[in-house]
A = this chain, B = another copy of it.
Amino acid sequence: MKRKAINFEEKLAQFNDLWSPKIIAQMNDYHFKLAKIKGEFIWHSHPETDEAFIVLQGSLTIHLRDYEVVLQTGEMFVVPRGVEHRPVAEQECQILLVEPEGTVNTGDAVGELTDQGADWL
C-alpha cells in the first residue's frame, strides 16, 4: 500500500463539529487527532496518560488548577497524566492532539461532551 502525506488543512476542511477530535494518523498505539475547538470545555483529567496539544491555528488557553498556559499557533504543551485541565478558546482554534488510542476527550469527566471513540477522517 502506498501511503500518502497527511495534509492538516485538507483534513481540517472535512469537518466542522467542535470538541470532537478526528484521528488522522497512528504511530504504534498512539493516535494523532485533529480538532476544532471554540468556547470552554469541561474540567477533566486523564488518569492514565499525558496528553499533547499542538496549536495549528489560533489561540488556546489550557486552564490548570493553579495557573493557565496560553498556546498560540506553532506552540505545544503536554498536560501530565492525572492533572486536571480545561481547554478554552475564545475564537475557533485548530489543534493537533497526540495521545494513546482509546483516550476519551473528557477523560474522567464523562458527560454530554464525551466522544467515546474518536472517528478516523
Q: Which residues of A contact B (CB under 8 A)?
A: 2-9, 24-28, 30, 32, 49-52, 56, 66-67, 69-72, 74-78, 81, 98-100
Contact = CB atoms under 8 A, between A and B. Distances in A.
Main secondary structure of the interface of A (DSSP, over half): strand
Contacts of A56: 74
Copies of this chain in its oligomeric complex = 2
A51 B72 contact: no
Given A32-B52, A52-B32, A98-B98, A77 B27 contact: no
B76 A6 contact: yes
Most buried by B among A5, A25, A56, A74: A5
B78 A7 contact: no
Contact of A5 (B27, B51, B75): B75
A14 to B, nearest CB: 15
B100 A28 contact: yes
CB-CB nearest 3 A-B residue pairs: A5-B75, A27-B50, A5-B71
